[in-house]
Amino acid sequence: MAVPHQQIDTTWKVETPEGIDLHAEVAGPVPRALAYITDLLIRGVIMLVLAIALGLLGYAGQGILMICAFLLEWFYPVVFEVFRQGQTPGKRQYGIAVVNDDLTPVMPGTSFIRNLLRTADFLPFFYMAGLVSMLTTKQFRRLGDLAAGTLVIHVPPKQDTEQLPKVCPTAPTIPLNSNDQTAIIDFTRRHEQLSTPRQQELANILEPLLKDKDENAVTKLRSLGVWLLGGSGK
């Protein structure tokens, strides 16, 4: 019996505790290499400008230049990945970003670990270990990603407008506290991410409030959410 070939799938799927399925496209070696080269050129230009400016200070300037080189090498990617949504200028140029493997933003410690292990990825020369690691793992992870639990994913283009459900907004008949409003708004915004059975399950929890169940309860809950968001509905 012939064994079917396993199809290549770069989609990474994560299910949150709330039952929401998150999807992301994992970035391969080519865009990552191009992003790295772009960042390398940027750091090179910065170092050239600093070398010219600090060259006037003699030995003191050389010492400062070495400190700047150290900071650029080890903290340039960390600062951008933590404070710029996982994107260095090179990654932003090619539409990729670093995230945790549960698709949450990276933290300083996580980013530092993955970048510290660039030394191991570089061995024996020019990132051969990192390239072999990316080509032999399903999510194209280099050694630093494996150690830190991170992924590099493609960032989808931002949408200009928020897609709300096509329902008529309905004002609530009873006062809602801030937690209730936040939960209803979150439910409405994620209407395309939640499966139909999951939406009905969540809506049925509010049966005493909505006076309905299943599909009708989902529609009423969406109507409340659209009203809270100030949408115009249909």
Reference 120, options 110, 111, 130, 112; nearest CA is: 130
Note the pLDDT tens digit of each residue in 100-147. 998 889 999 999 999 999 989 988 888 899 999 999 988 899 999 999
> How confident is the model at residue 6, as a pLDDT?
44
Could you read off the pLDDT of 152-184 as tens digits, one per residue? 999 877 644 456 667 777 777 777 677 777 777
The stretch 26-32 carries a mean pLDDT of 93
What pLDDT is stored for residue 35 in this prediction? 96
Going edge to edge, which strands form the sheet with 150-154?
11-15, 21-26, 150-154, 96-100
With H, G, I as helix, E, B as strand and everything else as coil, classify residue 74: helix
Residue 19 has pLDDT above 60, yes or no: no
Does 212 score more than 50 pLDDT?
A: yes
Q: Strand 11-15 to strand 96-100: parallel, antiparallel, or no bridges (unpaired)?
A: unpaired
Average of per-residue pLDDT values in the chain: 82
The pLDDT score that the predictor gives to residue 195 is: 77
